[in-house]
Amino acid sequence: MKAFVFTGQGAQFSGMGKDLYETNPIAKEYFEKANEILGFRITDIMFNGSDEELRQTKVTQPAVFLHSVISAIAQGEEFQPAMVAGHSLGEFSALTAAGALTFEDGLKLVYTRALAMQKACEMQQSTMAAILGLDDEVVENICNEISDSGEIVLAANYNCPGQVVISGSVEGVNIACEKLKEAGAKRALPLSVSGAFHSPFMQPAKEELEAAINATEFKAPRCPVYQNVDGKPYTSQAEIKANLIAQLTAPVRWTKTIQQMIADGASEFIECGPGNVQQGLIKKIKAAAGM
């Protein structure tokens, strides 16, 4: 069974989507439609922008969404998913590619999400770090201890066994990095992000996004969508909406998502979007399961 997975923020690069735009008339049409919807030429930034321009949340999220969804659309008849999933932002791409959202509505929601998250990041300084080489439970326990003492820090992305991203206040993340290294982490890498995604710091953005999601029509997707909040498959519009709203302040349970897709019969994973980050994570998830 073919499973299509959609990448999240962080995989962007200058030049992304340019080949699609230049070689595929359908892709070009969708990129131009996106420029109209957004009211600025995002394609100029995607194709020729600096890394700094592309790193802005309000640019990154719609850019990665566009590359991912248009990559799927451009496959034509080849895009026949038995199931889909997306990492964080990628969940919107997955829902759009699977027909739960129209292209226009998906893009508008992603742009609303990006602007709301950027605003939340500016309200309070916060950050994230990748922790390599520790069990999830060890990371959770140390984060809980620090949070109990007054600084906010928590596990935000369960990417694969031995790779967890933590999110929280700058001080909380710094303390956690030191303590996690003492506990045996191979590495604790601060991430170049504008704030603490998938944490309570995103609450103001969540309220804005909730209003936008509730005002948007969702259809039943053409196949099950495995959602970040619990890694389970959904087809009900009401449940999909609720999970999408919860996702902004809840951890991304990617390991659990991929494990569940494999248990449900996924035999081939096809990545849509810039880069091949997800293929690397999926390989590690399979290896940890002895596959």
Q: pLDDT tens digit string along 130-168?
A: 999 999 999 999 999 999 999 999 999 999 999 999 999
Catalytic site residue from 67, 68, 93, 198: 198
Residue 242: per-residue pLDDT: 97
Tokens of 108: 């508008």
Q: Report whether 157 contacts 258 (CB < 8 A).
A: no
Catalytic one of 88, 167, 194, 199: 88
Q: How far is Cα 54 from Cα 241, in angstroms, rounded to an integer?
A: 28
Residue type, 137: E
Q: What length does the chain have?
A: 291
Q: Is it the case that residue 291 has pLDDT exceeding 80? A: no
Is 87 catalytic? The answer is no
At the topology level of CATH, where does 126-190 sit?
A: Alpha-Beta Plaits (3.30.70)
Do 126-190 and 2-122+200-288 fall under one CATH topology? no
Q: How would you class 183 by CB atoms within 10 Å of its CB: exposed for 0-12, middle for 13-18, buried for 19 or more?
A: middle
pLDDT at 288: 84
Select from 119, 131, 24, 110 the least CA-distant residue to 63.
110
Give the pLDDT band (50/70/90) at residue 175.
very high
DSSP 107-145: HHHHHHHHHHHHHHHHHS-EEEEEEESS-HHHHHHHHHH
Give yes or no for a contact between 135 and 160, defined as CB atoms under 8 angstroms apart: no
Going by the DSSP 8-state scheme, the letter that residue 201 receives in this structure is: G
Q: What is the per-residue pLDDT for 233?
A: 98
CB 243 within 8 A of CB 229: yes
Which residues lie below 8 Å from residue 29, measured CB to CB, with a gap of 6+?
none
pLDDT of residue 52: 87
Question: Would you state the pLDDT for residue 69?
Answer: 98
> To the nearest whole number, what is the mean pLDDT of the chain?
95
Predicted pLDDT of residue 55:
84
On the question of pLDDT at 281 being above 90, the answer is yes
pLDDT of residue 290: 78
pLDDT tens digits along 183-226: 999 999 998 788 999 999 999 999 999 999 999 999 999 999 99
The residue with tokens 């969540």 is 206
Q: What pLDDT is stored for residue 289 in this prediction?
A: 78
CATH topology (fold) of 2-122+200-288: Malonyl-Coenzyme A Acyl Carrier Protein; domain 2 (3.40.366)
Predicted pLDDT at 194: 82
**Residue where the block lists tokens 């990041």:** 121
pTM for this entry: 0.96
The domain spans of the chain are 2-122+200-288, 126-190
Strands (E), the chain: 2-6, 83-86, 126-132, 153-160, 163-169, 187-190, 225-226, 233-234, 268-272
Which tens digits make up the pLDDT trace of 238-274? Answer: 999 999 999 999 999 999 999 999 999 999 999 999 9
| Interval 187-196: pLDDT, tens | 999 987 889 9
